[in-house]
A and B are shown apart, each in its own frame.
Chain A
Amino acid sequence: MLFSTTTTVTDAGGHSTSATVTCTVGPDLPTDAEIATWGQTTTTVTSNTTYSSTTGQVVNGVHFDGARVSFTGTDITLNDCLITGDTSGSPLVSVTNANARRIVLNRCVLRPKTPGNRNAIQGQNFILNDCLIEETTDGVSVAKSGYTSAQINWPTGVELHRVVIRRLARWTGAAPGDVHPTDQVTHNDGLVQAGGSGTVLDRVIIDARPALQYAHVLLQSAAGVVYTKAQAYALADTAARISVPIGSQPGGWPYVAPWTSNGTGKWSTGEMSGPDFSAIMILSSQGPSTMFDVRDCQFGGGENCINGGGNPWVTGAHLGTWVRNRFDRSQANQGSGGNDTNTARFSGNWAGHITFPTLGTDANTYIDGATMTGVQF
C-alpha cells in the first residue's frame, strides 16, 4: 500500500508551504516498475553453459540467448542475467548436479525464447533474489536428482526472495503423454516440490493463471478476431474469454480445450484458472515435503491455489510456518462460494502440524483483508 504524507509549514505571518513524500506500508513486494529493471544485460551467450567453478564465480549481465544454464560447482552467482533456454524440454536453469551448492541468481529473468513445454528452474540448493519467471510450464521445480528413500527429509536448500512467477504456459496434446504423462493439458504450477524440507518463500508473488496469447491459449472476440497480447491482457474482468476453436491453428492446436470455465465468467474469480493450475503444488514423491517458511507472499489463481493433496502428514512431520500471506479469489475451484475459494488446501491431516494463522497480526488473509475460511489443513 502506498502511504503518502503532505506536510504544511506555516510561519508566524501566515505564509505556508507544503511538500509530499511517499513510502509503502505492508510487504515489500516487487512492483512492475522494479521488475522492468531486472535482467539488464550487457553481453550475449548463445550456447548452453555449465558453470563448474568452486571459487565464488560471479557472472554479470549475460543474455543467454536461446541457451540453457546449468551448474556443477559451488558458490556461483548470476546477476542481471536473462536466461531464455533452448528448444529442448529441459528447464532453462538446472541445479540438479549433486555438486551444485549455493547457486544464487540476483535480478535475473527466466523467460523462454522459443515457446515450449519446459520449466524455468529445477533442482535444489539455489537462491533466487529479485527474479522474474514467466511463460514456462512450471516456474520453480524443487526436486532432488537421483533421490532414494534413504534421503528422506533431504534439505532442499531452496530460497525465493521477492520472486515473481506468472503467466504460466498452458499446452495441449493430441493424446495423453504428449504434454503430460496422463493428461492432454499441461499441469502448471508456480512452484512444485517433490519432497524435502526447508524451502523458503519470502515476499514472493505467484499468479497461477495462464499466459494469454501464448502457448495454446489464444483468445478471440465473439466475431472470431484473435486479440493481440495487449488486448487480451486488457480485457475487462467480466469480458468473455473465448478460445480459438479446437484444431483451428497450424498443426491442429489447441488439441483440447486449454482451460475449463468455472462458470463465474470473471477473470478475478477463476474463469480461466483451471484445470490443473496451482500456485504451490506440494508432493511427497521424494519423501514428505515439510518445514516450509512462507511469509509475506501474495498468491493467486490456480484450480486450488495451494494444493497439498499429494503430501499427507506423516508421524513427526511439520509443514512449517506460513504467515502474513495474502490470497486472491481467482481459484477455478470456488468451493461453496463466499470466502471458501479453495485457496489453501493441504492434505486434510496437517491440523496441529502447521503454523498457518487466519487471525491475529500474523494472519494469512485475502488481499482485501477478509478472513480466510475453508482452509483445509
Chain B
Amino acid sequence: MAAPVITSQTYGKANYQPGELMTLTVNHTDVDRKIVSTTTSVTDSTGATGVGAPTTVVIDGAASVTPVSTPAVTWTLVAATLNQSVFTAPAP
C-alpha cells in the first residue's frame, strides 16, 4: 500500500495581518484508494427485475488531514471532500 500524496497546499494569500482569518487548502489523493460501488438487483420468477440504488464504499481513504503550524495556531476544518480539505485559523 502506498502513502497518500499531497498534490498542493496553499494559503489564501501570501501575507496576513495578525488576527486576520487565514485559509489553508490541502489537495490530496491516494493511488491505493478504491471506490467500490454495489448495485443490487432482484429478479422474480417472471423475469421482472428491480434495481436498487447503488451503495458506495471507499477503501483506504484518507483517515486524517492534520496541519501543524509554527507559530502554533488552531486550525478548524471547514470543508472536506475525498481529495480536498479546507481549514481556517486566525493569524497569530
Residues of B40-61 whose CB lies within 8 A of A: 59-61
Q: Report whether B4 and A16 are in contact in the complex, using a CB–CB cutoff of 8 Å.
A: yes
Whether A5 pairs with B1 at a CB distance below 8 angstroms is: no
Interface pair A12/B17, CB less than 8 Å apart:
no
A230 at interface (Cβ–Cβ under 8 A)?
A: no
A149 sits at the interface (CB 8 A): no
CA gap between A9 and B1 in the complex, in Å: 15
Q: Which residues of A contact B62 (CB under 8 A)?
A: 9-12
If A7-B24, A7-B26 touch, whether A15 touches B3 (CB-CB below 8 Å) is yes
Complex Cα spacing A154 to B67, Å: 53
Chain A facing B: main interface SS: strand
Residue A24 lies at the interface, judged by CB distance under 8 Å to chain B: yes
Give Cα distance in the complex from A11 to B65, angstroms: 9
Q: Closest CB-CB distance, B90 to chain A, in whole Å?
A: 10
* A23 contacts across to B, CB distance below 8 A: 11, 13-16, 22
Tell whether B39 is near chain A: CB-to-CB under 8 Å. Answer: no
A19: Cβ under 8 A from any B Cβ:
yes
Q: What is the CA–CA distance of A15 and B33 in the complex, to the nearest angstrom? A: 12
Chain B: minimal CB distance from A300 (Å): 21
Are B65 and A9 touching (Cβ within 8 A)? yes
Q: Are B68 and A11 in contact (CB under 8 A)?
A: no
Chain A positions within 8 Å of B14 at CB level: 23-24
Residues of chain B having any CB pair with chain A under 8 Å = 1-6, 9-11, 13-19, 22, 24, 26, 28, 30, 32-33, 59-71, 75, 91-92
Pull 10 A–B residue pairs with CB atoms less than 8 Å apart, ordered by A: A3-B22, A5-B9, A9-B28, A11-B61, A12-B61, A13-B32, A14-B63, A21-B10, A24-B14, A25-B18
